[in-house]
Amino acid sequence: MNRIRQSALTCLLVLSGCLFLSSGLWGQHTKDAAGNYLLNPSDLLRVEVFQEPDLIREVRVAQDGSIVLPLIGKIFVGGKSVFDAERLITELYNRDYLVNPQINVTITEYALRRVNVIGQVNKPGIVIFPPEEEMVLLEAISLAGGFNRLADKGKVTLTRTLPNGKSETSLVDTRKLISGDQTVKWDLQKDDVIFVPERVF
């Protein structure tokens, strides 16, 4: 009986250890995924400074990519990864205010990033980026139901609003993307418009 109990206890300990390792790896994976995500306007961030509860803030990234934090004021984090934002905040606090600060930045709410897919697709309309992920042109078309039978796959246009307010339109032959002949995947940005025209018979 004692041997049975001992074996059962050993199994439980092994299982507990596996669960502990799995949860630890999962947490690291989540952190790594967030670290690869580039911060966007309207993202909501929680900024924590270890052992400095008065400096903890939840801040939303402004349209110019900035946030405002105690002591260091306005800083620009738009387009930076979470890790780069942590490094910048650490440097600024360490420069004049704290000794070896430990900063943790987490994204508590992601900005809604969308593109519009119109024309000859099966489900034209808005397509939402998955959180923490990027999207390429063919993925957006796929999420819009894919090309319908009238689509001209060789003359798809991608229209993007540039930072200066002007728009830029590119012509994309998606047949090359589908066949793998083209190395450019056409990464999408927020508010891009994809138009799939009708074939001329």
> CATH number for the domain including 132?
3.10.560.10
- Picking from 109, 127, 160, the residue at the C-terminal end of a domain is 109
150 lies in which domain range? Answer: 114-196
Express each pLDDT in 111-154 by its tens digit.
888 999 999 999 999 999 887 778 899 999 999 999 999 999 99
Give yes or no for residue 12 having a pLDDT over 60.
Answer: no
Q: Do 91 and 142 lie in a common domain? A: no
- Work out the average pLDDT over 56-63: 94
Give yes or no for residue 76 having a pLDDT over 90.
Answer: yes
- Work out the average pLDDT over 48-67: 94
Instruction: Determine the pLDDT at residue 96.
Output: 87
Q: Do 79 and 121 lie in a common domain? A: no
Q: What is the DSSP string of 47-74?
A: EEETT-GGG-EEEEPPTTSEEEETTTEE
Instruction: Determine the pLDDT at residue 36.
Output: 65
Structurally, how many domains does the chain consist of? 2
Q: Do 168 and 147 lie in a common domain? A: yes
Give yes or no for residue 66 having a pLDDT over 60.
Answer: yes
Which DSSP symbol is given to 200? Answer: P
User: How is the beta sheet containing 103-109 ordered, strand by strand?
Assistant: 57-60, 44-49, 103-109
Q: Do 126 and 190 lie in a common domain? A: yes
Q: Do 87 and 136 lie in a common domain? A: no
Is 25 part of a structural domain of the chain? no
Q: Do 51 and 94 lie in a common domain? A: yes
Q: Do 119 and 190 lie in a common domain? A: yes
- Picking from 81, 109, 137, the residue at the C-terminal end of a domain is 109
The alpha carbons of the chain give a radius of gyration, in whole angstroms, of: 24
Q: Do 104 and 118 lie in a common domain? A: no
Q: Do 181 and 121 lie in a common domain? A: yes
Is 79 part of a structural domain of the chain? yes
- Work out the average pLDDT over 30-57: 81
d(CA 60, CA 68): 9
Which pLDDT band, with edges at 50, 70 and 90, does 77 fall under? very high
Report which of residues 175 and 37 the model is more confident about.
Answer: 175
Is 23 part of a structural domain of the chain? no
In this prediction the pTM is 0.62
Q: Do 120 and 190 lie in a common domain? A: yes
